[in-house]
């Protein structure tokens, strides 16, 4: 079982830094490539660019909590929530060819 995890392509967990604006302020966020892929999917699902999605999420956290103590960790946790939602989406029944 550990081979599934240990044997993965190292580029999946390579850090990628993206520069963007969060509510008007220029910043950079460093996440593993796999997480950026999920954040990109969430933004696409929301119909916005990734920077717009991340900025919107940041603003909502500020509104709810007054501060953002560890935004990159929040992004990673948001990714796990998103993946959990995908698992709960009903999958179509497999179709078999007529015999």
The Cα–Cα gap between 25 and 5 comes to 37
| Overall average pLDDT of the 64-90 stretch | 88
Helical pair 33-46 and 50-65, crossing angle rounded to 10 deg: 90
CATH numbers and ranges of domains, the chain: 10-80 (1.10.3990.20)
Question: Percent of the chain scored above 90 by pLDDT?
Answer: 67
Mean pLDDT of 65-87: 91
Give me the pLDDT at residue 74, please.
Answer: 96
Residues 65-75 have a mean pLDDT of 93
CB-neighbour burial class of residue 1 (10 A; exposed 0-12, middle 13-18, buried 19+): exposed
- pLDDT computed for residue 4 by the predictor: 83
């Amino acid at each position: 079982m550990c081979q599934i995890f240990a044997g993965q392509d190292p580029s999946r967990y390579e850090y990628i830094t993206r520069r963007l604006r969060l509510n008007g302020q220029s910043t950079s966020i460093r996440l593993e490539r796999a997480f950026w892929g999920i954040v990109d999917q969430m933004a696409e699902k929301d119909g916005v660019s990734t920077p717009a999605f991340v900025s919107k999420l940041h603003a909502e956290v500020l509104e709810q909590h007054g501060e953002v103590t560890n935004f990159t960790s929040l992004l990673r946790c948001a990714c796990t929530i998103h993946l959990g939602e995908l698992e709960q989406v009903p999958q179509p029944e497999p179709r078999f060819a007529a015999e």
